[in-house]
Amino acid sequence: TNPVFTGIETTVFETMSRLAMAHDAVNLGQGFPDVDGPRDILEKASETLLSGPNQYPPMLGLPELRQAVAAANKAFYGLDDDWASEVLVTSGATEALNDCLMALVEPGDEVILIEPLYDCYLPLVKRAGGIPVRVRVTPPAWDLNADALAAAFNDNTKAILINNPMNPTAKVFTQDELQLIADLCKQHDVYAICDEVYEHLVFDGAVHRPLMTFDGMRERSVRIGSAGKTFSLTGWKVGYVTGPAHLIDPIAKAHQFVTFTTPPNLQKAVAYGLGKNADYYDGLAGELAGKRDRMARGLEALGFGVLPCAATYFLTCDISGLGLGTSDVDVCRKLVSEAGVAAVPVSAFYGADAPGGFIRFCFCKRDEVIDEALARLASYL
């Protein structure tokens, strides 16, 4: 087998979901909402399933979805994208990440990753022939060390892959941090691949600003979004990449031989969804923030060291106060099999030498499910 995949385990999200099922546990591991997104978007998809289109759509995506993505980028961030040449529809953000790395990275190029990192980043960078260079943000605040970041850039650096808002840290990068990244990218002539799937799941007045909007970054950045997160429909796997035509063009060349297209009915329904007004987006973030607070209060009362959470679906916790040991993997194993609650060990988001001692809970669940998980944890601890 290809050495890139030797020693790679099945993704932690699948592993924990299987364990949750096997133990009949409340699944707070893998990140997915337990209530489907808006009814009208589902109706739109079912209508178009019956009426069509049901045949191959254009390789770049249905024009109406590409137009809707460009319009949303304009409305939210003031970005001017030419929908015909600067927007590509993919089968989820995961495919988009793969396509971007395949297209932009050549064997031997260095790619900077910020750790903890989303678990597909390392294998995809390596399989593209890239050399991952990891820079850590450190808990509890997950601050980015400017010197460490600057030291990671050199003449071999081709790209930085940045996830903002960030999974699993629930961090929104500060303006200063983004400015620093932008300055380094410009100084070293580096691409920025921006995984912004949690762009709309941002709380307490925090502002998400795409790196692409910083001076001089438009021509060297691509931005990845996911309807899965924006519309609470993670199984749909509809994603989009936007960026300058000279980058979208090679990325589309990768896409055409990976999936070629994405189901047209779902594309139509997502195009419709992107027409929703600010109330929808505010409502989604407000509802999630309430769930975050409900879970954070409960976990804190049980002795978890809940870290700040400004965005995403996730709460990260320090487990050192629980008396269950310091291995996050062992604690997650115990919690799923003995307490009946699945979480994810944060060490799964590190390439090597993970600090350990932190686990991640997903809070985008119905209130009664959150309460049931807290009750199970309370009787176990």
Q: Smaller CB distance to ligand PMP: residue 232 or 234? A: 234
Q: Kindly write out the interface string for residues 152-171 of this chain, putting x where it contacts ligand GLN by CB under 6 A and - elsewhere.
A: ---------------x----
The HSE-up count of residue 107 (CA atoms within 13 Å, CB side) is 0
User: Which of ligand GLN, ligand PMP, none is residue 90 near (CB under 5 to 8 Å by kind)?
Assistant: none
Q: Which of 136, 237, 255, 291 binds ligand PMP (CB under 6 A)?
A: 237
Q: Which of 48, 73, 157, 167 binds ligand PMP (CB under 6 A)?
A: 167
Binding of residue 228 to ligand PMP (CB under 6 A): yes
Per the DSSP assignment, residues forming a β-bridge with 359 are 317, 345
Residue nearest to ligand PMP (CB): 92
Binding of residue 197 to ligand PMP (CB under 6 A): yes
| Shortest Å, Cβ 166 to ligand PMP | 7
Q: 10 Å Cβ neighbour count for 38?
A: 18
Q: Are 48 and 254 in contact (CB under 8 A)?
A: no
For tokens 């015909």, name the residue: 84
Cβ neighbors of 59 (< 8 A, separation 6 or more) are 252, 255, 256, 260, 261
Binding of residue 90 to ligand GLN (CB under 6 A): no
Binding of residue 242 to ligand PMP (CB under 6 A): no
Q: Kindly write out the interface string for residues 19-38 of this chain, putting x where it contacts ligand PMP by CB under 6 A and - elsewhere.
A: ------------x-------
User: Which of ligand GLN, ligand PMP, none is residue 255 near (CB under 5 to 8 Å by kind)?
Assistant: none
| Shortest Å, Cβ 216 to ligand GLN | 31
3-state secondary structure the chain: CCHHHCCCCCCHHHHHHHHHHHCCCEECCCCCCCCCCCHHHHHHHHHHHHHCCCCCCCCCCCHHHHHHHHHHHHHHHCCCCCHHHHEEEECHHHHHHHHHHHHHCCCCCEEEEEECCCCCHHHHHHHCCCEEEEEEEECCCCEECHHHHHHHCCCCEEEEEEECCECCCCECCCHHHHHHHHHHHHHHCCEEEEECCCCCCECCCCCCCCHHHCCCCHHHEEEEEEHHHHCCCHHHCCEEEECCHHHHHHHHHHHHCCCCCCCHHHHHHHHHHCCCCHHHHHHHHHHHHHHHHHHHHHHHHCCCEECCCCECCEEEEECCCCCCCCCHHHHHHHHHHHHCEECEEHHHHCCCCCCCCEEEEECCCCHHHHHHHHHHHHHHC
Q: Kindly write out the interface string for residues 115-144 of this chain, putting x where it contacts ligand GLN by CB under 6 A and - elsewhere.
A: ------------------------------
User: Which of ligand PMP, ligand GLN, none is residue 200 near (CB under 5 to 8 Å by kind)?
Assistant: none
Segment contacting ligand PMP by CB under 6 A, of 15-23, 52-60, 233-241, 302-310: 233-241
Binding of residue 281 to ligand GLN (CB under 6 A): no
Binding of residue 345 to ligand GLN (CB under 6 A): no
Binding of residue 98 to ligand GLN (CB under 6 A): no
Q: Kindly write out the interface string for residues 6-45 of this chain, putting x where it contacts ligand GLN by CB under 6 A and - elsewhere.
A: -------x----------------xx--------------
269-298: contacts with ligand PMP (CB under 6 A): none
8 token code pair: 């790679």
Binding of residue 118 to ligand PMP (CB under 6 A): yes
User: Which of ligand GLN, ligand PMP, none is residue 13 near (CB under 5 to 8 Å by kind)?
Assistant: ligand GLN
| Shortest Å, Cβ 156 to ligand GLN | 30
Q: Smaller CB distance to ligand PMP: residue 92 or 340? A: 92
Interface ranges with ligand GLN (CB under 6 A): 13, 30-31, 167
Interface ranges with ligand PMP (CB under 6 A): 31, 92-94, 118, 163, 167, 195, 197, 226, 228, 234, 237, 239
